Structure 1
Amino acid sequence: MNHRTVTALLAVAIAAAGLTACGSDKDSGTPSTKTASAAEPTAPVGSGTPSKSSGDAGAPKGKGIPPKPDAATQTKYIAALTAIDADIVNTKPDKAVDRGRNECETIANFPQDKQKQIDLANQRFTSPKHPNGFGPEKATRIRDAVHKHLCPTY
């Protein structure tokens, strides 16, 4: 496996672990710690404490993975991705939405680093025909579609 594939798989595993934890801390009263473990691969898993790495110094507080979009928003988002390349959605709109919501967290965590947002979008959005991403040009357009439709306030 190449480095990008390993990185992407690791990011997905960390995100999945964080999403699994989202439903289990209802009574803890600390919603901000739920997204920290998914967004912060440098934080110890399960620590509930966001890392203090230099990359998240400018991250807006309280923003992370946004809620699932309503049906109309999802339809517009999926149409925007399909217009870029039909293989991005690849008959799996729910997966495309989940990837987009995770990209929103990247946008929130690295608001001044658009190149990092694009690089992570290219790693995050893959398909059987594009296992290493869709390239920087399409990744930029994917990132822009995510921002416009799923997290315009980020």
Structure 2
Amino acid sequence: MKHRTATALLTVVIAAAGLTACGSDKEADSKPTKSHELSASPAPRKDMPEDSSKSHADAEAKAGIPPKPDAATQAQYVRALNAISSAIVNGKEDRAVSRGRDTCGTIHSFPKDHAKQVSITAQRFSGATQVTTTQASQILTAVRTHLCPKN
């Protein structure tokens, strides 16, 4: 009997250690997402070799995510979003551009499913204020026009 109890206790300890080693991000765990739908593109790290940055850019390109726009294109894109609602950009242009580039990936992934593109865009751009379906459709137009016209 003692042997089974010890074995069971050891199993629990090993399982707990394994779970602890995996780590957990409570915020990430509370909002399950599909990585291909709502993923953010991390910026290339400066401590990574050049080849790694290139492979990251290649992976983004294969997923339909364009490179960061030049200053003039970014300004036009931000103006288009602000014309829809000033709450979309809310002074965070880099975040709006990142979300727009990711939206290009969504357009690439679901080229014939406009409803899905609108739904994912609404989720991606909603924050303190919710983006309506109409606004999400307008955001898609701005993204296509300024960030990924080839999609």
Specify if TM > 0.5.
yes
Aligned length: 119
Cα distance in 1, alignment partners of residues 55 and 96 from structure 2: 28
SS in structure 2 at match of 1:19: coil
Matches for 1:100-111 after TM superposition, within 5 Å: 100-111=100-111
Give yes or no for contact 1:104–1:151 (8 Å, CA) kept in 2.
yes
* Unmatched 5+ stretches in structure 1: 36-60
**Aligned twin of 1:15:** 39
Greater Rg, structure 1 or structure 2? Answer: 2
Aligned to 1:82: 82
Which of the residues 112, 124, 136 maps onto 1:139?
Answer: 136
Corresponding position of 2:51: 27
More helix as a share of residues: 2
**How far apart are the structure 1 equivalents of 2:125 and 2:32?**
13
Tell me whether 1:125 sits opposite 2:125 in the alignment: yes
Where does residue 151 of structure 1 map in the other structure?
A: 148
Kindly state the Cα deviation for residue 31 of structure 1 after the two structures are TM-superposed.
Answer: 5.6
Q: Residues 96-127 of structure 1: CA distance to partner in whole angstroms, max 9, x if unpaired?
A: 00000000000011111111110000000023
How big is the shift at 1:70?
Answer: 0.6
Letter in 2 for 1:134: V
In the TM superposition, residue 64 of structure 1 has moved relative to its aligned partner by 2.0
Superposition deviation, residue 65 in structure 1: 1.2
- Identify unmatched segments of 5+ residues in structure 2: 1-29
* Structure 1 residue runs of 4 or more that deviate by more than 6 Å after TM superposition: none
Distance 1:148 1:20, change over 3 A: closer
Displacement of 1:69 after TM fit? Answer: 0.5
C-alpha displacement of 1:15:
2.6
TM-score (norm 1): 0.64
Q: How far apart are residue 6 of structure 1 and its match?
A: 2.3
Query: Identity rate of aligned residues, in percent?
Result: 40
| Contact kept? 1:22, 1:34, Cα under 8 Å | no
